[in-house]
Amino acid sequence: MSASTTTATGLSRLRSRLGAHLGPLVLVGMLVAASQISPYFLRLSNFSNLLRQVSENGIVAVGMTLVILTGGIDLSVGSVLALTNCLAAGLLVWQGAPLWLVAVAVLAAGALMGALNGAVITRGRMEPFVATLAMMSVARGLAYLYSGGRPIVIADQPAHYAFLALGQDIQVSPDWGVPVPALFFLLTAALGIIFLRTTALGRRIFALGGNREAARLSGMPVARTLVIVYALCGLLSALAGGLHASMLNCGHPNEGMGLELNAIAATVIGGTSLAGGAGSVGGTVIGAMIIGILNNVLQLRDVNPYLQMLLKGVVIVLAVLAQRSRK
């Protein structure tokens, strides 16, 4: 073996080893850089705010990961969040529904929207991009119809305390609190990791993304699996929608715009292949943290919002290029 071949092999192995730990390395680098860019970043109050911001996108990104692992995409997650955050607020304020009923109705509505996506994709033989683009418009329209195009304010009164507590912090000290939405995010991520690693449905998701035709020929229930996956994505979008209403004391049909971009960005940056069949929920958690830190630092530095959008797009492109280089 020549010296050049040996060197190339060594570099390839090094790149492979670094690639497996690229997400955590980038996350650590982001934390170090953020602490140097803004003196406010390491404050406990800001860290609590960061966790709250990350949790909503992170919950949706876990659902997006399941969808992308099958080789699909879901562009309707932001609109489903808008619909369910209005539904949660409306049931509380207009119908006076108890918390358990609000939770069941909101999660069921999100799961139904997702299942409809899956049904249109499988039964209607429609591309996921087109089907979920249509659902994006349908869910947003329903949100406007239900709310009348106006915010539904959740008053700070005893009947609503239990619901509003879901968006608050658990105070650990006078300067530090753990956001309840962050706990929901961690629980969602943990369940997602267990689900993909230990269940038959989790294995089918990877198989579908790896080779759908082979999965079909092996007798796998492709249509049913896809409907379940999109229903889970809708359910997690609804969970984020309910928490969103609790955090803001309000349901509004304009909420969730651009959320699909953030969720896809977190998933891709976390190492999930857009072609499907490769990725992990753990990587998505890291991706959501990276996106959250980037947003947080840009806001602390008062960077122009339009420039923030531009930088986010650049980060997504770099993440995809990094995936290709590892392959």
Q: Which domains does the chain have, with CATH numbers?
A: 60-167+176-326 (1.10.3470)
CA-to-CA distance for 302 and 311, rounded, in angstroms? 14
Can you tell me the mean pLDDT for 9-30?
55
pTM of structure: 0.86
Which of 24-28, 171-175, 256-260, 310-314 tops mean pLDDT? 256-260
pLDDT-based confidence at 79, cuts 50/70/90? very high
For the chain, state the CA radius of gyration: 21
Q: Between residues 280 and 5, which one has the greater pLDDT? A: 280
Confirm if 130 and 193 have CB atoms less than 8 A apart. Answer: no
The CA-based dihedral angle spanning residues 178, 183, 184, 185, taken in that order and rounded to the nearest 10 degrees:
100
Can you tell me the mean pLDDT for 178-189?
93
Mind listing the pLDDT tens digit for each residue in 110-134? 999 999 999 999 998 899 999 999 9
CA-to-CA distance for 153 and 141, rounded, in angstroms? 19
The CA-based dihedral angle spanning residues 108, 112, 115, 121, taken in that order and rounded to the nearest 10 degrees:
-160
Q: At what angle do helices 281-300 and 259-269 cross, to 10 degrees?
A: 120
Can you tell me the mean pLDDT for 128-152?
93
Q: Express as a percent the part of the chain with pLDDT over 90.
A: 42
Q: Between residues 290 and 317, which one has the greater pLDDT? A: 290
Q: What is the predicted pLDDT for the residue at 144? A: 95
Helix (H) or strand (E) holding 250: strand 250-251
In the chain the first and final C-alpha atoms are separated, in Å, by: 24
Can you tell me the mean pLDDT for 226-241?
95
The single-letter code of the amino acid at 145 is: L
Helix (H) or strand (E) holding 172: strand 169-173
Q: What is the predicted pLDDT for the residue at 12? A: 47
Q: What is the predicted pLDDT for the residue at 219? A: 77
Confirm if 50 and 296 have CB atoms less than 8 A apart. Answer: yes
Q: What is the predicted pLDDT for the residue at 38? A: 66
- Centre a 10 Å sphere on the Cβ of residue 18 and count the other Cβ atoms it contains: 11
